[in-house]
Amino acid sequence: MTTAPTPTPAAVLDAYWNGAHLADPPAFLHRARGVSPVLHDSSRGVALLTGHPEVSAALRSPHVRTTRYEGGEAVRASASYAVMSPMMLFHDGPSHTRLRSLAVRAFTPRVLEESREFITSLTDELLDDAARRGEVDGVAALATPLPVTVIVRMLGLSGTDADRFRMWSESIADLLGGVNVTPERWAQVEADARAMRAYFRTLADDLRANPQPGLLSALAAAEDEGGRLSGEELLANAVLLLVAGHETTSNLISGSLHALHEHPEQRAWLAEDPEARVGNAVEELLRFLSPVQGTGRVVTVPLTLGGVELPAGTFLSVSLAGANRDPRLFEDPDTLNLARENARLHLAFAAGAHYCLGASLARLEGSVFLTRLLTRFSAYRVPEQPLAYRPNFTLRGLRELRLHLR
Ligand code: HEM
């Protein structure tokens, strides 16, 4: 019997950059980890990290920095660049601390607890509406409007602009990791970036003159206090909050609806006592789904990760999805086990300085949604249907999920 030769790191990385993992990410990531949890292609100066200890170490290392939003002259002259490059995601050290510290105020436990009631009544309204309509697309009817409405309210934006925000959010998702984006689509993304700049610039001026409740007013005021936040920074980070609050949580909700349908015994277990069990269930769903599949980092000094020596300047493709299915930490990692004892060790929100700012909000939204869903419609039905995911390297979410609440 002959065994297939082990692929070289370069071959696995080539397949990865070409999107070979998108059809079935866990299967590809297991194969890559099987070759090595740190797959280094020294000729190109890149490494793919798919193991939990290695991903965790990289994200927490002082010798690893985040990626910058960079490009040639044409990119730097674009509106997309102006919207993306001041986002806190692409900054380190004091510049990152300054940008993050202003926004962090909006996510204190007190502010979040105050939102619980609103999130609960909004969830009930969406569920009532969907139940009345019979068969609906759960992405459009439930998974998208819940987080969008919540973040729009927290920022103090107008709910009547929600459709526009959804389109902008899709454009930012393309800028963060779109796959096979056509030139026509890039032109639309650039037009959206111009529209976002105009919208937030005018709004910030209005809010400074006439403060309103909400995070955006607080950020606009902070800009006035000794120029701590420039106009471009305000704009970019407001857009980041808007988008981060959209796509990710929406993918957690739609993915959970599907995963619980596929695992009826898990759904029944959660439905028996949602209040008590939902906390751990949300952690396990975050681990299982990894709504943000990965991120990028750069090594700043020679560094050994998982026994592999990486020169300064190596680009790290950090697979959060890979870490979350690492069998060295999670027993039987491809099984959804809502009672898993160490589910909380997942890296779905990353780790280190850029640990997700909205993690508590996302957990709250996920918990309230699943509790209300399973308290009221534990027998919801998902008919046979072909499933398609949005073509994106970074964010993994269903395009559509038809379902019936009953
Ligand atoms: C299930 C939902 C969510 C997931 C899985 C998620 C995941 C992540 C991950 C992995 C990062 C780190 C990215 C990196 O280091 O490159 C991140 C950062 C961030 N997230 Fe989330 N997120 C979620 C929901 C939210 C929500 C609801 C908000 C806010 C409304 C939010 C705001 C942010 C912000 C502002 C950052 C940047 C933090 C920084 O750079 O310091 N996220 N998120």
How far does residue 384's CA lie from ligand 1's centre (Å)?
32
Which ligand 1 atom sits closest to the C-alpha of 291? 5
Longest CA pairwise span in the chain (Å): 77
- pLDDT tens digits, residue range 219-271? 777 765 555 677 788 888 888 988 887 889 999 999 999 999 999 999 999 99
Q: Which residues line ligand 1 (CB under 6 A)?
A: 88-89, 100, 151, 240-241, 244-245, 248-249, 252, 291-292, 295, 320, 348-350, 354, 356-358, 361-362
Pocket test for ligand 1, best of 248, 252, 283 (most atoms within 8 A of CB): 248
Q: What angle do CA 340, 293, 374 make, to 5 degrees?
A: 45
Evaluate the CA torsion angle 83, 88, 90, 95 in order and state its sign.
Answer: positive
Question: Which residue, judged by its Cα, is nearest atom 7 of ligand 1?
Answer: 349
For the chain, which domains are there? 9-404 (1.10.630.10)
Token pair of 45 as six digits: 């100066």
The per-residue pLDDT for 17 is: 87
Quote the percentage of the chain above a pLDDT of 90.
62
- pLDDT tens digits, residue range 336-345? 999 999 999 9
How far does residue 60's CA lie from ligand 1's centre (Å)?
16
Mean pLDDT of the chain: 91
For residues 176-186, give the mean pLDDT: 83
Question: Which residue, judged by its Cα, is nearest atom 39 of ligand 1?
Answer: 354
* CA 86 – CA 103 distance, rounded (Å): 14
How far does residue 355's CA lie from ligand 1's centre (Å)?
7
Question: Which residue, judged by its Cα, is nearest atom 21 of ligand 1?
Answer: 356
Q: Model-level pTM?
A: 0.93
Q: Do the beta carbons of residue 168 and residue 239 sit within 8 Å?
A: yes
Side-chain half-sphere of 400: how many Cα atoms within 13 Å?
10
How far does residue 240's CA lie from ligand 1's centre (Å)?
9
Q: Which residues of 239-248 are buried (b: 16+ CB within 10 A; e: fewer)?
A: bbbbbbbbbb
Question: Which residue, judged by its Cα, is nearest atom 17 of ligand 1?
Answer: 356
For residues 170-189, give the mean pLDDT: 85
